[in-house]
Amino acid sequence: MKKDFKKYLMRLLKLKHKHPDPFTGEPSMSEALKCSDCGGQVAKAEAVYNQRRKKHPEEFVYKKPEHIRSPELEESWNQLIHRVKNDNLYKAHLARLTKGTESQQKEEMKKIGEGHYTTHYEEGGIIKKI
């Protein structure tokens, strides 16, 4: 919805007095419609909204914001993908975390906390330390 149209609607809906819902105490549009002073104002705002919605439905469609990765994030992502594909030690770690028993998962979490996988990797079947 465009900002100017939204501001216009909000001006139309700025009522003279509050209309609390009898059960919740929150302001209620249905109670405002019953009011002799504010009912016409709310009905006019609803008519304007419905008319705009019919004429310009594309304004009311939510567009998901496009996420653009920073170069640093892209680099980090590519390094992670490379490690998952090539490092068998890390592959086994992920498998134990996702499919392992509870004790294996706890052990892997302990290794993560100690920084084991930031300092160790596997190359050619041999576990190496950085």
Dump pLDDT digits (tens) for 78-116. Answer: 999 999 998 888 999 999 999 999 999 999 999 989 988
Structure-token pair, residue 45: 């705002």
Q: In angstroms, what is the C-alpha Rg of the chain?
A: 29
Tell me the β-bridge partners of 128. Answer: 121
For the chain, the domains span: 3-60, 73-129
* Residue 97 CA neighbour count, 13 Å, CB half: 12
Global pTM value? 0.47
Among 59, 29, 61, which Cα is nearest to 44's? Answer: 29
| Residue 33: band (very low, low, confident or very high) from pLDDT cuts 50, 70, 90 | confident
